[in-house]
Amino acid sequence: MQSDCFVVEGKLALPYQYFAGKTGSRFLIALRDEKKILGAKCPTCNKVFVPPRATCEKCFSKLTDSRVELKPTGTVTNFTVIRYEEPYQPIKPPYILAQIRLDGADTPLTHIVRGIPISQMKTGLKVKAVFAKKTTSTIMDIDHFQPDEKFKMEIGYTFDELEIGMSASFTKTISETDVYLFAGISGDFNPMHLNEEYAKKTPFGTRIAHGALPQCLIAPVLGMKLPGLGTVALEINTRFKAPTYFGDTITATGEIIEKIEKKKWVRMALSWTNQKGERVAEGSALVIPPAPLPE
C-alpha cells in the first residue's frame, strides 16, 4: 500500500552573528560611543558615502582610511510607508521608512521618520537624527529622524490622518507625593491610600495609589499625542486588574482600533502596564479627533 508523504511545516529560529567589516564596525562604534555619523570620502572623485564603504563605487578607489563626520541633518529623497507587521521590524507599523541624504553626503541612509503625519510626509523634507537613549550597537542607535523644518503641529492628528494600528504612550512613576496630592484633588482620603498601618491589614499589605491616578495618565496620550491637541474624549472605559504601588512606573498606551466614518470619531484600545510588564488596567476610549485647520 502506498500513501502520500505527510508534510509537517516548521520554522527554525537561527541565531547568528556576523562581522560588520572594518568600515562598518568603525561606523557602528562611532555611532554608539560618540553619537557621530561617519562617512567615507573618495580621495579621487570626492564622492561621500554614508554609511562608509571600503571601495568607491564610481572610480574603485580604496576608501578604507577615509573618515568624514556628517552632520545629523539631511533631506528625504524617497520614502515608503510600512503597513505590514513582521517580528524583525524595529517599531510597530504603520511607520515611514525613508531614504535620507545627509548634508554633505552623496548617498542616502535608510531610516525611520517620525513626528509627521503620514499624509503630510513628502520628499524634500529636511530631517534631523534623534539618537537613541539606550545603545543597541546597531543602526538603531539613531532612534529615528524627525522633521527639522518649522513643522508646527498645532493640532493633533485629524480623522483622515489617523490609521488603525497607530499608538502612543505616556510613562510616569507614581510617587507618594502624587498619591497625597491626588487625595487632596479628589477628596478621596481612604486610609488604604494614606495610612500605612491601616493598609498593612488590607489584602495589598501596603498603601496603594487611587485607581484613577494611573488611569488619568491616558489623558496626556489622548490630549497631547494621539490623536493629540484638540481631541475631545467622549467616553473612557477602564477595567482595573492590579494595584499600583508607590514607586511603580506606569505606561498608559492608546491604540486606534476603529474609525467611525459616519461620525468622524475613533475608538481606541487602552492599556496600562507597570514596570514589570503587568497589566494594571485596560479599557477603551471613544474620541473626536481635532478638526483640520482652515488653510
Q: Which is nearer to Zn ion, 44 or 175 (CB)?
A: 44
- The residues that bridge with 173 in the sheet, in sequence order, are 249
Q: Which is nearer to Zn ion, 46 or 78 (CB)?
A: 46
What spatial distance separates the first Cα and last Cα of the chain, rounded to whole Å? Answer: 77
For 249, residues 6+ apart whose C-beta sits below 8 A from its C-beta are 171, 172, 173, 174, 274, 275
For 227, residues 6+ apart whose C-beta sits below 8 A from its C-beta are 156, 157, 158, 162, 266, 287, 289, 290
How far apart are alpha carbons 272 and 213 in whole angstroms?
Answer: 11
Q: Which is nearer to Zn ion, 56 or 96 (CB)?
A: 56
Is residue 232 involved in binding Zn ion (CB under 5 A)?
no
| Cell matching residue 78 | 524617497
Per CB under 5 A, the list member of 22, 33, 59, 201 interacting with Zn ion is 59
Is residue 56 involved in binding Zn ion (CB under 5 A)?
yes
Minimum CB separation from Zn ion for residue 217, in Å?
54
Minimum CB separation from Zn ion for residue 47, in Å?
5
How far apart are alpha carbons 76 and 16 in whole angstroms?
Answer: 32
Is residue 236 involved in binding Zn ion (CB under 5 A)?
no
Helix (H/G/I), strand (E/B), else coil: 105? coil
Minimum CB separation from Zn ion for residue 44, in Å?
5
Residues of span 22-51 touching Zn ion by CB under 5 A? 42, 44-45
Q: Candidates 16-24, 54-62, 112-120, 151-159 — which segment interacts with Zn ion by CB under 5 A?
A: 54-62
Binding site for Zn ion (CB under 5 A): 42, 44-45, 56, 58-59, 61
